[in-house]
């Protein structure tokens, strides 16, 4: 069996679900535009430059989840899927995922974005497994803090290995392993799989892929 892993933001999606969730909350008046939008833009720029402090970002990004009942958050998320996410899903991305699923690969989305935001997106693609940053909950309510290791940079490798250990399938036992990503932030995981693939990559990853002979594809 082959293992096929997909990054989500700017890979399967033609955009960033983390960023767009914050913009969605701003548009709904859930958070203050004047302060929240500037901070959201700042974190997004840090991510792209490779300087993001993931713990600082998660304190910002998860805080709104702790302020509202889960039922209300779920209603907002359904509207978010229609307004922001489905327009960012192109036919090539759907076809790529479907082809790997049809071939019998074990498929998972591996993303730094938290599972509240991304679990419905994984279901939209029909991907049965999600390895994501997990929001902490108490009594079914979000606390505004992450649980465990954030699924970011080296944390993606750690979280993937935890998941594979839990299902009894270590990475070395797969006939091949493939990871699709757009970002140089994902180099730790790209370097662990047998078949790294750069998807609409940022300039840093494009240069690395060219130097190492990694395939470069576009889903746009």
Domains along the chain with CATH numbers: 2-217 (3.40.50.1000)
Beta bridge partners of 217: 199
Confidence at residue 177, expressed as pLDDT on a 0 to 100 scale: 98
Place of tokens 């302060």: 35
**What rounded mean pLDDT belongs to the chain?**
95
Residues recognised as catalytic: 7, 9
Place of tokens 């991907």: 127
Please answer whether residues 189 and 197 qualify as being in contact, where contact means their C-beta atoms are separated by less than 8 angstroms. no
Confidence at residue 50, expressed as pLDDT on a 0 to 100 scale: 87
Burial class (CB in 10 A: 0-12, 13-18, 19+), 51: exposed
DSSP 13: B
Q: Phi and psi of 23, rounded to 5°?
A: -65, -35
Count of other CB atoms within 10 angstroms of residue 215: 12
DSSP 84: I
Confidence at residue 32, expressed as pLDDT on a 0 to 100 scale: 85
Confidence at residue 47, expressed as pLDDT on a 0 to 100 scale: 86
Cα 185 to Cα 165: distance, rounded to the nearest angstrom: 24
- Cα 63 to Cα 47, 66, 68, 117, 144: the distances in Å are 19, 6, 10, 13, 4
Q: H helices of 50-132, where?
A: 54-62, 70-80, 91-102, 115-125
pLDDT lower than 70: segments of the chain = none
Burial class (CB in 10 A: 0-12, 13-18, 19+), 15: middle
Confidence at residue 196, expressed as pLDDT on a 0 to 100 scale: 98
Beta bridge partners of 26: none
Cα 82 to Cα 212: distance, rounded to the nearest angstrom: 39
Confidence at residue 61, expressed as pLDDT on a 0 to 100 scale: 87
């Amino acid at each position: 069996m082959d293992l096929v892993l997909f990054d989500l933001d700017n890979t399967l999606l033609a955009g960033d679900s983390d960023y767009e969730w914050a913009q969605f909350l701003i548009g709904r008046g859930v958070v203050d535009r004047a302060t929240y939008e500037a901070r959201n833009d700042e974190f997004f720029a840090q991510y792209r430059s490779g300087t993001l402090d993931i713990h600082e970002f998660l304190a910002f990004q998860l805080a709104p989840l702790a302020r509202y009942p889960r039922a209300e958050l779920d209603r907002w998320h359904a509207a978010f899927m229609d307004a922001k996410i489905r327009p960012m899903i192109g036919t090539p991305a759907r076809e790529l995922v479907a082809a790997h699923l049809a071939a019998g690969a074990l498929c998972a989305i591996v993303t730094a974005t938290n599972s509240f935001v991304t679990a419905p997106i994984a279901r939209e693609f029909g991907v049965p497994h999600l390895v994501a940053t997990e929001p902490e909950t108490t009594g079914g309510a979000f606390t505004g803090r992450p649980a465990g290791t954030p699924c970011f940079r080296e944390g993606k490798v750690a979280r993937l290995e935890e998941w594979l250990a839990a299902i009894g399938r270590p990475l070395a036992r797969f006939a091949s392993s493939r990871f699709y990503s757009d970002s140089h932030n994902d180099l730790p995981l790209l370097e662990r799989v047998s078949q790294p693939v750069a998807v609409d990559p940022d300039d840093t990853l494009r240069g690395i892929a060219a130097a190492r002979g990694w395939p470069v594809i576009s889903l746009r």
